[in-house]
Chain A
């Protein structure tokens, strides 16, 4: 029996240990899966897999960067000489053009002559650039295939356009999304910090027990309301209000996102700053009061400076939460992927982008991978904020 007991103890300890590894394993698995899918983006081309880009064989151009490809198909570049080629205007050709260029008879009832026609068209048109499915490449293809380069990390991080489904060349520039995320989150903290800090001060240093008893459950409830309900409230109340007040075309703006996120960040900021304020030693407060300072002066000159690092931690943690918040932002910010210039413009954040697009991105495709790459960026950003919080805390205890 006694011998048994020792073994049972060991066994249970083993179970406990196993359970406690779940969190660490999850973190590791999250990193693995994000990177497994996300890093694949930099191994793929911004053009759909089974498609070819081809030009006239006499055209001296041999390579075109994906940047230029985009500009060509957006008709921003219209002449080959802009790329160092002949002075020929660029003729775009995609499969949709086939229907207008050739008659149904020419193509045959099952498009069986299409490959041949494409070949003929490319050979006969000096300025052509064609984008079509590999399945229409004829056996005796005479055009020059243009290789498309892979998406680079630099392009991804500094690209200013996010058009993941545009054809033929998708654009994966996360700069507007990163800026949109920071813009909305920092706006939220600018709104929430004064309110949250003042409430924390009032709660810890001024108010009586009665107000505390009211405010504590209020804060808990504010923290408990689901983000989709905040988003709903923002959409039906705040968005129309902003639209009317500022006389805008749409009310879904960065401002709406910041206000809603600010409200959502309040509980974090209030709770953590209040804890920080409470750590001020009583003796320090009394010393200040004994020198004839008022409670307000003591607050401003002694208590708040003393609790500075805790308040900073609250602030960073608030931003960290706001950066990762998804549903509310998705519902009120309008989701336009442009680099924000004003709070009264629609913006799009990283989490909102993932939430809105993952459902439609084909599994394993470039777009799918790009969304996981966004997940990596988001993960790194929030871990960075967490790390900063730890750092400010550690500083305090030194």
Chain B
């Protein structure tokens, strides 16, 4: 009996240590990049063009490029994702079509990011003749995050209590009116949270943009959606692995990694804050 207790205490202690290891891993990675990158970050680093084989200067074009890709992919993926989520959850009854669409969404979510890269290159760059461009990259990234947006929309809609739908129907509201005026306003906070998290995904993906938009070194800002741009994750990859002088570009790499992490952190915090804000608001009501 005592043995059993001791065994349990020891085991739970070990479990605890392992769990803290997970927390530790995150803090080691974040800490390392923050500490090394912090001294690199300056106003100049964020707002100037790269110079001298990317050993000096800043990362402005990469920041701008990433912002363009975020905006471009969201303009495309957000409406389509939300509309499909609505269709699948509100219009389709439980039949083969619903199962088929769910399966296809799952399949798309399972496609590796590099395959999106291949596909984007074959379809947007070569077949549709967009060339390496913001639009080709944005569409590729947009297709990649589509499943994320569809799923969060579906989840958000599922969490809306059926009684409000019935209440609305009983007043003679049509399906569209019910969705538009009652269901969506309740589901919006969760949909927006999902959208924000998909921004975090888009901002960090490299493989899909390798062959669709990313430029190795392009010290100017884009003029149109058919321009190539630099992007933060690709820039980080380039200056860590294939710069002309890897040792000298290392500080720039730390700075770029920190900026990337900062964007992801900021987006996650924003999503969490929104979740808490909306959660409180609902409770208060």
Check B101–A20 contact: CB distance below 8 A. Answer: yes
Assuming the contacts A23-B147, A211-B19, asked whether A225 and B204 have C-beta atoms less than 8 A apart, the reply is yes
Given contacts A199-B19, A355-B210, contact A226 B264 (CB under 8 A): yes
Nearest to A199 among chain B residues (CB) is B19
Chain A neighbourhood of B32, CB < 8 A: 233, 237
- CB proximity of B200 to chain A, nearest CB, Å: 5
Give the residue of A33, A225, A266, A323 whose beta carbon is less than 8 angstroms from that of B112. A323
Within 8 A of B (CB), among A194-236: 194-195, 198-199, 201-203, 206-207, 211, 214-215, 217-222, 224-233, 235-236
**CA of A266 to CA of B107 in the docked complex: distance in angstroms?**
21
A23 to B116, CA, bound (A): 13
Check if B206 sits within 8 Å of A20, measured CB to CB: no
Report the minimal beta-carbon distance from A33 to chain B, rounded to whole angstroms: 4
Contact A202 B16 (CB under 8 A): yes
Cross-chain contact B91 with A13 (CB below 8 angstroms)? yes
| Docked pose: A267 CA to B218 CA in angstroms | 36
Which residues of chain B come closer than 8 Å to A233, judged between CB atoms?
Answer: 29, 32-33, 257
Once the chains bind, are B19 and A202 in contact (CB under 8 Å)?
yes
Instruction: State whether the Cβ of A119 lies closer than 8 Å to any Cβ in chain B.
Output: no
B79 vs chain A, min Cβ distance (A): 7
How far is B25's CA from A22's CA once the two chains are assembled, in angstroms?
A: 38
Contact of B25 among A207, A263, A323, A327 (CB under 8 A): A263
Q: How far is the CA of A90 from the CA of B16 in the complex (A)?
A: 68
Instruction: Please determine whether A224 and B268 come into contact, CB atoms closer than 8 angstroms.
Output: yes
CB proximity to A under 8 Å, residues B77-132? 79-81, 83-84, 86-88, 91, 100-101, 103-108, 110-119, 121-123, 126-127
Q: Mark B200-216, 1 if CB is under 8 A from A, else 0.
A: 11011111001100000
Interface assignment of B11: CB less than 8 Å from any CB of chain A: yes
Most chain B beta carbons < 10 A, residue from A201, A226, A236, A351: A226
The tally of CB-CB contacts under 8 A between chains A and B is 252
Interfacial chain A residues near B261, Cβ < 8 Å: 225, 229
CB of B206 within 8 A of CB of A379, answer no
Chain B interface residue count, CB cutoff 8 Å, equals 85
A327 to B33, CA, bound (A): 18
B106 CB to closest chain A CB, in angstroms? 7
- In the complex, A273 has a CB within 8 A of chain B: no
Knowing A13-B91, A27-B104 are in contact, say whether A225-B29 is a contact too (CB < 8 A): yes
Residue of A nearest to B83 (CB): A19
Q: Is B146 at the interface (CB under 8 A from chain A)?
A: yes
In the bound assembly, the distance between CA atoms of A356 and B181 in angstroms comes to: 50
A12 at the interface (CB under 8 A from B): yes
B residues near A214, Cβ cutoff 8 Å:
23
Given contacts A24-B100, A326-B206, contact A297 B4 (CB under 8 A): yes
A291 close to chain B: CB less than 8 A: no
Per-residue CB contact flags for chain A residues 344-362 toward chain B (1 = under 8 Å, else 0) read: 0000000100110011000
Chain A interface size, as a band, is: 35 or more
Query: Hey, which chain A residues are within 8 Å of B12, CB to CB?
Result: 202, 206, 295-296
Stretch at the interface among A127-135, A152-160, A370-378: A370-378
Partner of B122, one of A194, A224, A372: A372
Stretch in B183-191, B221-229, B236-244 with 4+ CB within 8 Å of A: B236-244
Fill in one digit per residue for A145-180: 1 if any B CB lies within 8 Å of its CB, else 0: 000000000000000000000000000000000000
**CB <8 Å contact, B204 and A218:** no
A143 beta carbon closer than 8 Å to chain B: no
A34 to B121, alpha carbons, bound, how many Å?
Answer: 11
Q: Determine if A52 is an interface residue (Cβ-Cβ < 8 Å).
A: no
- Smallest CB gap from A19: residue in B: B83
Given A30-B119, A195-B21 in contact, is the A383-B101 Cβ separation under 8 Å? no
Cross-chain contact A229 with B204 (CB below 8 angstroms): yes
A residues near B282, Cβ cutoff 8 Å? none
Q: Measured between C-beta atoms, what is the minimum distance from A297 to chain B in Å?
A: 7
B residues within 8 A CB of A327?
206-207, 233, 237
Q: Within the complex, which residue of B15, B29, B106, B211 is in contact with A359, where a contact is CB–CB below 8 Å?
A: B211
Given contacts A17-B87, A326-B112, A351-B112, 10 further A-B contacts (CB under 8 A): A9-B175, A13-B87, A20-B87, A34-B115, A34-B122, A195-B22, A215-B22, A270-B22, A355-B210, A358-B118
Q: Which B residues form the contact surface with A (CB < 8 A)?
A: 4-5, 7-8, 11-12, 14-16, 18-19, 21-23, 25-26, 29-30, 32-33, 79-81, 83-84, 86-88, 91, 100-101, 103-108, 110-119, 121-123, 126-127, 143, 146-147, 150, 174-176, 197, 200-201, 203-207, 210-211, 233-234, 236-237, 240-241, 250, 253, 257, 260-261, 264-265, 267-268, 272
